[in-house]
Amino acid sequence: MKSFWIRLGSGIVLVILALCFLIAGGDLLLAASGLISLIGLYELYRVFQIEKNIVGAMGYLAVILYICNLKFAFLSDFRFFVLGLLVFMTSVYVFRYPKYRTEQLLAAFFGVFYVAVMLSCVYLTRMLPGGAYMVWLIFLCSWGCDTCAYAVGVLFGKHKMTPILSPKKSWEGAIGGVIGSALLTLIYCMVFRSRMQLTERELIFFVLIGAVGAVISMIGDLTASAIKRNYQIKDYGKLIPGHGGILDRFDSVIFTAPVIYYLTCYLVIK
């Protein structure tokens, strides 16, 4: 019971912080996204045992550079960032050979995009026209799906979805999560329809986006679980009482944010 109240309390604090940063938007949200990305990257690099070496340091610097570029736009082509990071990391790998293993280099490169670039889509969504309302779809799809899937799974779950990777997840829960996310999105859009200036067509698109986002959020959750199982760890960290680390709480958001951002850009933004 004590652990439940700890988890509930920290969850409430997270929601309050999310409200503050997402409503404020702008530089405050960008700074918060950068800090969360760096902490999450540190947690991931700790799993790969590169959190304190030069390969990991290059990953942290790449995240800082990427976040600064979102603000100042000194790199107009994202390909420069990708290729530059790859060249610098492989240079360290070659000239310090055999100090670092190939899998450490690949993990460092992967982590920058898995954590920082994908999470930055929360900020990018917030900066879209009408983003003050659309950004909440990311959390409705991820955290809303997680809550609905858990409730339906506990009540009706019988068929295991991934018995080895995540034995507690069921197909019934997954379906409940998708439907719940779509319904939450519909309710949210109906409440703010006039402020968001949604047509019926756009309203349908948003509901579909909510359903697709829920599916992607479950993939994100399972991806984080797969990494933990490969390296035989329970949680990525202990920063958030009752929840674990940043990646334990934002694992589904990491995948949902870019999906919501790009679907919103292509399907809704005129």
Closest CA to 218 of 136, 161, 157, 159: 161
Average pLDDT of the chain, as a whole number: 88
Q: What is the mean pLDDT of residues 237-249?
A: 79
The CA–CA distances, whole Å, from 153 to 121, 140, 149 equal: 29, 18, 6
Rounded to whole angstroms, the Cα distance separating 249 from 238 reads 11
Q: What is the mean pLDDT of residues 33-43?
A: 95
User: What does the pLDDT read at residue 112?
Assistant: 97
Higher pLDDT, 74 or 267: 74
Q: What is the mean pLDDT of residues 136-163?
A: 87
Which residues in the chain belong to E strands, given as ranges? 160-162, 166-170
The DSSP code for 114 is I
pLDDT for 48 beyond 80: yes
Query: Six-digit token pair at 19?
Result: 């409200």
pLDDT for 180 beyond 80: yes
pLDDT for 11 beyond 80: no
Q: What is the mean pLDDT of residues 66-72?
A: 95
Higher pLDDT, 147 or 59: 59
User: How would you classify residue 97: left for phi > 0, otherwise alpha for psi between -120 and 50, otherwise beta?
Assistant: beta
Number of H-type helices and E-type strands within the chain: 12, 2
Structure confidence by residue, pLDDT tens digits, 77-116 = 889 999 999 999 999 999 988 888 999 999 999 999 999 9
CA dihedral (11, 140, 184, 192) positive or negative: positive
User: What does the pLDDT read at residue 198?
Assistant: 83
For 249, phi and psi rounded to 5 degrees? -95, -30
Rounded to whole angstroms, the Cα distance separating 214 from 174 reads 9
- Residues linked to residue 170 through DSSP beta bridges, in sequence order: 160
**Cβ(130)–Cβ(196) below 8 Å:** yes
The DSSP code for 127 is T
Closest CA to 41 of 93, 112, 106: 112
Three-point CA angle 145, 147, 151, nearest 5°: 115
Task: State whether residue 69 is helix, strand or coil.
Answer: helix
Rounded to whole angstroms, the Cα distance separating 253 from 246 reads 11
Three-point CA angle 13, 62, 112, nearest 5°: 60
Q: What is the mean pLDDT of residues 186-198?
A: 88
Q: CA neighbours within 13 Å on the CB side: how many for 50?
A: 27
> The whole model's pTM is what?
0.91
**Cβ(7)–Cβ(243) below 8 Å:** yes
Rounded to whole angstroms, the Cα distance separating 93 from 115 reads 22
